[in-house]
Structure 1
Amino acid sequence: MANVDFVPFLAMVTVQVGYAGMMITSKLAMDSGMNPFVLVTYRQVFATLATIPFALLLERKTRPRITVPILLHIFLCSITGAFMNQVFYFVGLNNSTPTIACAMGNILPAMTFLFALIFRQESFGIKSKAGQAKVIGTLVCVGGAMLLSFYHGPYIGIGDSRIHWTYANKMTDKHPTNKGNFLLGPFLLLSISAAWALWFIIQAKLSRKFPAPYTTTTLMSLMASIECAVTGAAIEHRVTAWSLSSGIRLISAIYAGCICSALAFCVMSWCIERKGPLYTAVFNPLLLVITAILSWALLQEKLTVGILVGSTLIIAGLYCVLWGKDKEAKAKIAEEMEAAVMCREREDLELQLPSHRNGSNVHHDPN
């Protein structure tokens, strides 16, 4: 692990911690009666407001020219990474169960690896150790996440958390349980991973053509705000439902927008530019581990054997993929250095040939 670039690793772990916090605050907000589509809309609005100053100040001199193809790429990012991802999640969750939602969401690394292979942003390389590590690590990661979601087992006797959030006890779900459509639900939840994976691929191309993550995130959030607002207004007509007078609703909306959209998208865009889409996607299963810990600490949820074993497999698979990516990066650097050395040797040889020819002519000159 010491050989792996530490900054992108720490950045992606921090992103997952931020998402875990959003899941808890958003759950409390929706338990208080907040419509999820209203929450999604406010999330994008606050994300736009949070990133505008950074885009205007930090990228004022370095921002490339915004062209029509760039705007089209950003629009595709807003559709896949913001609108489809969040709308499909809430509709799918409404027609399914939280367990299925978590399990289906953790096929993201495998889905991203598949799309990266199709778009030739990743190499299969099954004959190399690095390629085998990426494939095996991805499978182990997904397997651990599935085990964590579906298998619980006996409780682990670690006692109760002393920092239990008593405010969570006061929240009650004001909406009746909806069994929904158990065919539509899993299909939409599967579509989330496809939308996320497509966003990683599109963002990887956009980062090379338009290396301005703050401007990209601002424009993407602005477009997603309009898309989500139109959808939210069509679903929730009551003006009172859009009120942020409740403290938990305001906190969850600001937190989700500023931390989990504005900051997270900027960090992920930077990591995609540095490490590629698969590296960024493979951290997604860590969200289950972090959420389980925070849920135990703040919401008094019990830790089980399934959580422990699944978390261990996720960490092992993650390490395996990171090792493969690191090995692959070193091999690429070695090939580039070898190619540079061969190029210099060829140039030196070409320079030496004329001097040998001139020396030979002087040696045979009869005068």
Structure 2
Amino acid sequence: MLDDFMPLVANVLLQVGYAGMNITSKLALESGMKPLVLVAYRQIFATIAIAPLAFFLERKTRPKITMPILFQIFLCSMTGATANQVFYFVGLNYTTATVACALNNVLPAATFVLAAIFRQEAMGIKKASGVAKVLGTLICVGGAMLLSFYHGHIVGMGESKVHWNYADRMSSNDSSGGTTGSNSFLGPFLVMASAVAWAIWFIIQGQTSKNFPAPYTCTTIMCFMASIECTIIGIFSEHKPSAWSLSSPMRLIASLYAGIICNAVAFCVMSWCIQKRGPLYVSVFSPLLLVIVAILSWALLREKLYVGTVAGSFLIVGGLYAVLWGKDKEVKQIKGGERGEGKVEATKAGGVDNDDLELQLQPPLKGSQLGG
């Protein structure tokens, strides 16, 4: 029961962490921080944070690091760290946090397609579990689009009692012609490109986790490689030393938060979850980020909640549970098949009567696939 529950809790907490990153990073960009500089600092702080854990927790259990393993980790750094984060933060600089979160929800669909192509996920459309995964993914993405691009009437929830003076000042500066611009094509395009890069990372990481089951060491090497890659890109883009200054508190907070929480912690947890439940299970939680961002934006930034927001949130949660149900049912069917094969082998060895075996292999008549 605990093994089924912990991946669910871990993925929900990850989305809470990513929601905080979207808010702090957007405020840092509005204060004048360059997105490529933020990405470079994120990788550097992530490497510093995760390296001690990798050394102390896996020094006795760490498998041998071979050249093929290093090449796989290099591919992970190029896709899941460098390409994903460079595209996302540059895109975030040219659009709003809500649109960025919404368009990032092409991730489950892209991951499902790629996982099916590389045979890490079975389509299984002739089974209820496969239909639930396909429809659930489509419902999640549809709900995300509805939440972002349709407003409708304002939901009467009143105003938040929480007031963040710094956010109020940044919002005021932005509304009066702030530091960041907008591009209705470039921003969304880059965010979608980041989602595709992240989906590729899920596929590569799924194989890397099997070949090198040491998530802390893998994450440390990946972040170290990405820090070199992103720093080189950042230096070519921003030559002035002032652009790399962390004297502003929001720049420092955004860099530390993104590096420690959303890189060091997040990549370790996601690697562990991929190893336990597969890439699709992890990626499908990303639509929850929109719901959390909507709540935090209302509470901290005093944004209004609309009918489209509420309706989209219900669709996202409904699609999420559909995919979880399908994935859980599929896992139990696989485990049941393995147990059935074991009983058949035991029957051949011990001479159990076929009628008795048929009774043993009957599935239970009731029981929730989600609740265990």
Q: Deviations over 1:57-92 (max 9, x none)?
A: 000100000000000010000010010001112333
Say yes or no: does 1:206 pair with 2:205: no
In the superposition, the TM-score normalised over structure 2's length comes to: 0.89
Match of 1:148 in 2: 147
What does residue range 100-179 of structure 1 map to in structure 2 within 5 Å? 100-171=99-170, 172-173=173-174, 176=179, 178-179=181-182
What does residue range 229-248 of structure 1 map to in structure 2 within 5 Å? 229-248=231-250
How many residue pairs get aligned? The number is: 348
Match of 2:12 in 1: 13
Q: Deviations over 1:121-152 (max 9, x none)?
A: 11111111111111111111111001011111
**Residue aligned with 1:264, SS:** helix
**Residue aligned with 1:303, SS:** coil
Once superposed, what is the RMSD of the aligned Cα atoms?
1.9
Matching residue's letter, 2:120 = Q
Q: Distance in 2 between matches of 1:299 and 1:95?
A: 19
Matching residue's letter, 2:17 = G
**Residue aligned with 1:107, SS:** helix
What does residue range 244-255 of structure 1 map to in structure 2 within 5 Å? 244-255=246-257
Any unmatched runs of 5+ in structure 1?
351-367
Kept in 1, the 8 Å contact 2:30–2:179? The answer is: no
Moved more, 188-197 or 232-241: 188-197
Moved more, 278-287 or 162-171: 162-171
Kept in 2, the 8 Å contact 1:37–1:232? The answer is: yes
Q: Distance in 2 between matches of 1:239 and 1:43?
A: 17
Kept in 2, the 8 Å contact 1:4–1:326? The answer is: no
What does residue range 19-168 of structure 1 map to in structure 2 within 5 Å? 19-94=18-93, 100-168=99-167
Matching residue's letter, 1:121 = Q
Q: Deviations over 1:252-290 (max 9, x none)?
A: 111110000000000000000000000000000110100
Match of 1:196 in 2: 198
Q: CA deviation at 1:175?
A: 5.4
Identity %: 61
Match of 2:313 in 1: 311
Q: Distance in 2 between matches of 1:179 and 1:262?
A: 30
Match of 2:301 in 1: 299
Matching residue's letter, 1:138 = T
Kept in 1, the 8 Å contact 2:43–2:259? The answer is: yes
Q: Distance in 2 between matches of 1:326 and 1:3?
A: 14
Moved more, 151-160 or 162-171: 162-171
Matching residue's letter, 1:110 = A
Match of 1:273 in 2: 275
**Residue aligned with 1:5, SS:** helix
Any unmatched runs of 5+ in structure 2?
353-372
Q: CA deviation at 1:98?
A: 5.0
Say yes or no: does 1:290 pair with 2:289: no
Say yes or no: does 1:341 pair with 2:340: no
Larger CA Rg, structure 1 vs 2: 1
Q: CA deviation at 1:186?
A: 4.0
Moved more, 66-75 or 88-97: 88-97
Q: Deviations over 1:301-355 (max 9, x none)?
A: 11111110000000000001001111111111110000000011112249xxxxx
Q: Distance in 2 between matches of 1:198 and 1:51?
A: 23
Q: Distance in 2 between matches of 1:175 and 1:220?
A: 35
**Residue aligned with 1:46, SS:** helix
